[in-house]
Amino acid sequence: MARSAPEINSGSMADIAFMLLIFFLVATTMDVDSGISRKLPPIPEEQQDDTPPIKERNVFVVLINSNDKLLVEGEPMDISMLKDKAKEFIANPKDKADLPEKKNVNIDFFGTYPVSKQVISLQNDRSTSYDMYIKVQNELAKAYNELRNEISLQKFGKKYSDLPADKQKAVRKIYPQRISEAEPKNVGGN
């Protein structure tokens, strides 16, 4: 019978593993990055000024001044009102004359649907705080998300986030997120 090799003492295995564990705990991060995704417009090329101007009724103007105060469509407004005002503007449920026009578009699953030609224009001052800016962005995103959820529940009986990709795309076509940020300028002094 071959002599068996002497067993290695594995008592300190746990210590080695603990050491490695602690190294990884210290050297790595687990934070999930989350945030509001936006797409910046490309730098406009010169002599490209033949695009038709957007009608005033189709634009929802949001201004933030240096004291973090809001001016929405020419009226001062509290941030808590912004979402409902934006929702009313985007959907224009009663076809009011001062809210955006609608255009019939053929969309999968929905057939012909009147899609509003809304654009939200957001302007801020150089002294606006970043916190306020994100709050406004968040409220506007919430307005779009709630409208998308409403129509998803109505049509498919599910939340927007639970829909398959092709249906999400159709819903996105009805309420496309159009937030335009003006070229930076100094409004309202410092």
Partner 1 sequence: MAKFNRKKKEGTPAISTASLPDIVFMLLFFFMVTTVMRETELKIIVKVPGATEVKKLEKKSLVSYIYIGKPRKSFQKIFGTEPRIQLNDAFAKVSDIGQYITSERSERDEKEVPFMTTSLKVDKNTKMGIVTDVKQALRKANALKINYSTRKEIVK
Residue 168: both structure tokens together: 């999400």
CB nearer to partner 1: pick between 39 and 94? 39
Q: For residues 137 and 37, is the Cβ–Cβ distance under 8 A? A: no
Q: For residues 120 and 140, is the Cβ–Cβ distance under 8 A? A: yes
Own/partner contacts of 95-103, CB < 8 Å, gap of 24 or more, are 97/57, 98/57, 99/57, 100/57, 100/58, 101/55, 101/57, 101/58
Q: For residues 76 and 70, is the Cβ–Cβ distance under 8 A? A: yes
Per CB under 8 A, does 116 bind partner 1?
no
Per CB under 8 A, does 63 bind partner 1?
no
Which residue from 4, 28, 51, 80 is in contact with partner 1, where contact means CB under 8 A?
A: 28
Per CB under 8 A, does 67 bind partner 1?
no
**At closest approach, how far in Å is the CB of 169 from partner 1?**
16
Residue 95 CA to residue 99 CA, distance in Å, equals 7
Residue 53 CA to residue 84 CA, distance in Å, equals 27
Per CB under 8 A, does 81 bind partner 1?
no
Which residue from 137, 149, 168, 187 is in contact with partner 1, where contact means CB under 8 A?
A: 137
Per CB under 8 A, does 30 bind partner 1?
yes
CB nearer to partner 1: pick between 13 and 81? 13
Per CB under 8 A, does 131 bind partner 1?
yes
Which residue from 4, 29, 106, 112 is in contact with partner 1, where contact means CB under 8 A?
A: 29
What's the first-to-final CA gap in the chain, in angstroms?
Answer: 92
Which residues make up the interface to partner 1 (CB under 8 A)?
A: 10, 13-14, 16-18, 20-21, 24-25, 27-30, 32-43, 124-131, 133-135, 137-138, 141-142, 145, 184
